[in-house]
């Protein structure tokens, strides 16, 4: 499977995914930390991909997503955005709704 | 011309913003002194009206393709229409602190 197919599979088979620097427990970037914390507070389990351990994904996800930076957050297979958008949607209560819907569909 | 000025000029040309603030936040990260790697951008423009947040950020990234390729590592982006900016009472969120992952080891 090439890396683009691999990315597609990760985001479509998991309702909530964050591609981040480090892990939610040990984030290695303030933006990744903040985005992962917003997801955690939504209360649903989510998948994380540590891009430092997946160099091919690190290299190719920006092209796949037409989005040049990390973290990248996907809900229901769609790019939600990076840290700033994710946190803003969380503060407005919209992220929680999107997550609930995606988890409901996947169940 | 430094990168901050280039970012300001590119955004001013692309978006005719009503308000624009570009802050070099590189000092908050593990990079050499006087680096230009991490920026916060607050931009208020009519160009964002009717557009979702992902579309807005893509528009900004696209207008800064050259700057992103010349060493800019992170942009904290806060995009508003004039109406949204008014509702926020003209304030954007603060950026997070570094966790060290961008450091070259």
What is the set of domains in chain B, with CATH numbers?
3-87 (3.30.300.90)
Mean pLDDT, rounded, for B4-33: 95
Task: Check if the beta carbon of residue B24 is closer than 8 Å to that of residue B39.
Answer: yes
pLDDT in tens, B87-103: 988 899 999 988 888 76
Provide the residue ranges of all domains of chain A, joining segments of one domain with +: 3-106
pLDDT score, position B3: 95
User: Are B96 and A33 within 8 A, CB to CB?
Assistant: yes
* A22 reaches B (C-beta below 8 A): yes
The percent of residues in chain A predicted with pLDDT above 70, rounded, is: 100
Which residues of chain B have a CB within 8 Å of the CB of A87?
A: 93
Burial class (CB in 10 A: 0-12, 13-18, 19+), B29: buried
- Tell me what pLDDT residue B1 has: 85
What does the pLDDT look like over A71-103, one tens digit per residue? 999 999 999 999 999 999 999 999 999 999 999
Say whether A89 and B74 touch across the interface (CB within 8 A): no
Question: A26: how many CB neighbours lie within 10 A of its CB?
Answer: 10
The reported pLDDT for the residue numbered B104 is 52
Task: Output the DSSP codes for chain A.
Answer: --HHHHHHHHHHHSSEEEEESB-SSSBSSHHHHHHHHHHHHTTS--EEEEGGG-HHHHHHHHHHHT--SS-EEEETTEEEESHHHHHHHHHHTHHHHHHHHHHHHH-
Average pLDDT over residues B32-51: 96
CATH architecture of A3-106: 3-Layer(aba) Sandwich (3.40)
- Does B30 have pLDDT greater than 70? yes
Contact between chains at B99 and A32 (C-beta distance less than 8 A): yes
Query: Predicted confidence band at A107 (pLDDT cuts at 50, 70, 90)?
Result: confident
At B103 the pLDDT is 63
DSSP B18: S
Q: Is the pLDDT of residue A28 over 90?
A: yes
| CB-based contact B101 A31, cutoff 8 Å | no
Of A34, A66, A88, the CB nearest to B53: A88
Chain B residue closest in CA terms to A87: B93
Q: Taking CB atoms and an 8 Å limit, are A89 and B93 in contact across chains?
A: no
List of chain B residues whose C-beta atoms are within 8 Å of the C-beta of residue A28: 99-101
pLDDT band with cut points at 50, 70 and 90 for residue B105: very low
Task: Quickly tell me which residue has 């290299």 as its tokens.
Answer: A59
Q: Give how far A38 is from chain B: nearest CA, Å.
A: 13
CB contact under 8 A, B101 and A28: yes
| Apex B61 CA angle, B56 and B66, nearest 5 | 155
Lookup result for tokens 């992962």: A36
What ipTM goes with this model? Answer: 0.91
E-state strands within B1-105: 19-24, 38-44, 74-80
pLDDT confidence of residue A83: 98
């Amino acid at each position: 499977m090439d890396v683009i197919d691999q990315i597609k599979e990760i985001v479509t088979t998991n309702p909530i995914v964050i591609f981040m620097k480090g892990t939610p427990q040990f984030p290695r970037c303030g933006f990744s930390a903040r985005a992962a914390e917003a997801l955690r507070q939504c209360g649903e389990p989510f998948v994380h991909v540590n891009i430092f351990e997946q160099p091919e994904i690190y290299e190719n996800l920006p092209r796949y997503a037409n989005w040049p930076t990390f973290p990248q957050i996907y809900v229901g297979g769609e790019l939600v955005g990076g840290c700033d958008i994710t946190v803003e949607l969380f503060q407005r209560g919209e992220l929680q709704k999107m997550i609930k819907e995606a988890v409901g569909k996947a169940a | 011309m430094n990168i901050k000025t280039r970012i300001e000029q590119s955004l001013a040309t692309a978006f005719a913003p009503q308000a624009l603030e570009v802050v070099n936040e590189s000092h908050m990260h593990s990079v050499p002194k006087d680096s230009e790697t991490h920026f916060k951008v607050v931009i208020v423009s009519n160009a964002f009206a009717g557009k979702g947040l992902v579309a807005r950020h893509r528009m900004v990234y696209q207008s800064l393709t050259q700057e992103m390729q010349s060493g800019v590592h992170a942009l904290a982006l806060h995009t508003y229409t004039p109406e949204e900016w008014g509702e926020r009472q003209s304030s954007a969120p603060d950026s997070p602190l570094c966790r060290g992952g961008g450091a070259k080891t």
